[in-house]
Structure 1
Amino acid sequence: MKITTPRLTQHVLTVEGRTGEPVLFVHGNVSSASFWRDSMAALPDGFRPLAADLRGFGETDPEPVDASRGLRDFSDDLLELVDELRLDGAHLVGWSLGGGVVMQMLRDRPAAIRSVTLVNPISPYGFGGTEGPDGKLTHADGTGSGAGAVNPDFLERLRAGDTSDESPTSPLSVFRASYVKHPVPDEDFYVRSMLTTRVGEANYPGDAVTTAEWPGVAPGAHGVLNAAAPTRFRLDDLPDVEPKPPILWIRGADDVIVSDTSLFDLAHLGALGVVPGSPGTPAQPMVTQTRNVLDRYGRYREVVLDDCGHSPHLEHPADFQRLLAGHIKEA
């Protein structure tokens, strides 16, 4: 269904005939609400599943992303959706970038949220450009993060709608190597979802900015990856929200995207010699940073799934569905 709010028109998936407590699923970067198809269908009775395409993904309007607002263009869109559909008391489920969006929603309107489930979320200190458990900026301008960190060949193949596996930078190859640890059924379905991403400076990845400091890129003013940069998205005060709905943090033990040794972190790639010239910049400890913030939040549980990559809901669906169902029933 299409829902129009003052900000934009959003495409929202649901399951026909389901009623009860609303559960709003928020997808990650280079994907769409379709990634939640099976998780939505598996919700227990008494819960109403919904999954929205974020702006610039799926069938939602490709409105530009103002990176100066961090992830609030996304979170404010969804809070308007909550208001339009009268979803107060919703359970929120956010994966990867969507985990950051859900945390921003929690930060801005905790009273509207009944529970939160974070699935391999980005760090509360953004993606790239920080070090240490407290998210200290390596450089004041966020060098090491932002749109310039993306492989340009991947962008071109994404823009062209490439469905082949002829290159390691094709969307299908990236899905196999990074989104999941082992093959999953219906991978063509998920690649088609990836290809709905609007590529450009206003959306994904955003405008690239160069800098004299290694590794030579810093956040620009527009687009998704610049909005997730640590100079724009930072939730030091998340533990201060009241009320505090319970948080379940589910993550795959072998995630290569969100990790203390992420293969998408330029600092870690520098340590590996993949990006030459590293002056010794330490990797961003993404998982440690999330745990640092949630330890201060207090009301949370962390569950690590072995032999699992970035997408527990696709790789270990039965475990994921059991954990999610238990969490929302207890909230």
Structure 2
Amino acid sequence: MQTVLDGMLFDGITAVDVATPRYRARILDRPGVGSGPTVVLVHGNVSSSLFFQPLMLALPPEVRAVAIDLRGFGGSEAKPVDATRGLRDFSDDVASVLDEMATGAVHLVGWSMGAGVVLQLLLDRRDLVLSVTLESPVSPYGFGGTALDGTVLNGGAGSGGGGANPDFVRALQEQDRGDGPTSPRTVYRTAYVAHPEGIEHEDVWVESMLTTTTGVDNYPGDATTVDAWPGFGPGGRGVLNTMTPDHLDLTAIVDIADKPPILWIRGEQDAIVSDASYFDLNTLGSAGIVPGWPGADVAPSQPMVAQTRNVLDEYARRAGWYRELALPETGHSPHLEQQDAFVEALLAVVRSDPR
């Protein structure tokens, strides 16, 4: 199926539709030479596989690079997302694509929400995983509403579909390509990267963001009314609710018997995933941006980075291996911002088991 997105493809990359029993997936493929390893890339929220094209082309010729559009993003089918399954609608979709393509075990790279998707795939389909690279990952406890040890605070109040900026959702719906304060372009410049002036192909990244399917069954999802501040809580439908603490818990990776190596790459200036993220309603409350905040003893910022580190430390204590690579002057998209360092670290894992 030809789409306007095909005009956004870089030379050397092809777009292919893969029909699976679960959904019709659009994938981007950069074939490898010979029988080398396959790296499978899974994008995050409000994005698509288009974001991975520079990385795909930067990998050496022997590596096959495949990027999969999740349901409701890119050129893939926009099916509803059942958030009560956590990220399993997405991870089961990825597994169905790999099964249909008969790839066997692959090296998985997940960005942001996509990092949670590949960890869920690791839990459910260990047979498909050779290694895992987590880029700017969502916390193993989800996004919003938890303490350092994963304890759910106030029933997860402030997390889920109700936390999306309605003006940003409207900009997605209206295919806004301008640079207004809540446009996708401005969100890209202020949240996705730390220094946008140094990165090429901005129009492609904006088009990628604009592929996001909006609504209660997709992005952002629905919400419930709760007594605790800020007055809304997790719903059961749509993208943001897949990552609420009542639906997502990926900490069982520490119990896997045969643990693959995990590479964790993050930017030190990440505006989305941090220990004081401005995409966390509790952080916004503490800064006075959202009124009525009840205080840090009731609604503290979620320590997302510390949570990930604690879980991965436990993974290592139980006979696993991981490496944390924190890149300075880098935001939420290290594969765009620090491509050489990203490729070097990824290939070290792909080409040999570092354990």
Bin the TM-score by the shorter chain.
Answer: over 0.9
SS for the counterpart of 2:251 is: coil
| Kept after mapping to 2: 8 A contact 1:75/1:104 | yes
Worse overlay, 312-321 or 28-37: 312-321
SS for the counterpart of 2:52 is: helix
The one of 222, 243, 255 aligned to 1:207: 222
Identity across aligned pairs (percent)?
A: 53
Whether 1:267 aligns to 2:285 is: no
Whether 1:162 aligns to 2:176 is: yes
Q: Which whole-Å deviations, capped at 9, do the CAs of 1:157-215 have from their partners, x for residues lacking one? A: 111000100x2111000000000000111111100000000011110111122222101
Shift of 1:87: 1.8
Inter-partner Cα distance in structure 2 for 1:57 and 1:243: 32
| Kept after mapping to 1: 8 A contact 2:32/2:62 | no
Shift of 1:46: 2.3
Moved over 4 A (4+): 16-19
The one of 127, 131, 139 aligned to 1:111: 127
The residue that corresponds to 1:300 in the other structure is 322
Inter-partner Cα distance in structure 2 for 1:182 and 1:210: 38
Inter-partner Cα distance in structure 1 for 2:77 and 2:216: 15
Shift of 1:236: 2.4
Inter-partner Cα distance in structure 2 for 1:45 and 1:52: 20
Inter-partner Cα distance in structure 2 for 1:83 and 1:23: 15
Shift of 1:17: 5.6
| Kept after mapping to 2: 8 A contact 1:25/1:92 | yes
| Kept after mapping to 1: 8 A contact 2:116/2:250 | no
The one of 159, 164, 182 aligned to 2:195: 182
Inter-partner Cα distance in structure 1 for 2:32 and 2:88: 31
The residue that corresponds to 1:69 in the other structure is 85
Number of equivalent positions: 328
Shift of 1:16: 4.3
Inter-partner Cα distance in structure 1 for 2:190 and 2:181: 8
Shift of 1:222: 0.5
What code does the residue aligned with 1:159 have?
A: Q
The one of 265, 270, 286 aligned to 1:250: 265
Whether 1:89 aligns to 2:93 is: no
What code does the residue aligned with 2:167 have?
A: D
The one of 36, 53, 64 aligned to 2:52: 36
TM-score by length of 1: 0.97
Say what the alpha-carbon RMSD is for the aligned residues.
Answer: 1.1
Inter-partner Cα distance in structure 2 for 1:232 and 1:87: 29
Q: Which whole-Å deviations, capped at 9, do the CAs of 1:238-293 have from their partners, x for residues lacking one? A: 10012101000000001010000000000111111111111111100000010111
Inter-partner Cα distance in structure 2 for 1:57 and 1:229: 20
| Kept after mapping to 2: 8 A contact 1:71/1:100 | yes
Whether 1:5 aligns to 2:2 is: no
Shift of 1:217: 1.4
| Kept after mapping to 1: 8 A contact 2:17/2:26 | yes
SS for the counterpart of 2:154 is: coil
| Kept after mapping to 1: 8 A contact 2:216/2:238 | yes
Whether 1:25 aligns to 2:38 is: no
What code does the residue aligned with 2:192 have?
A: Y
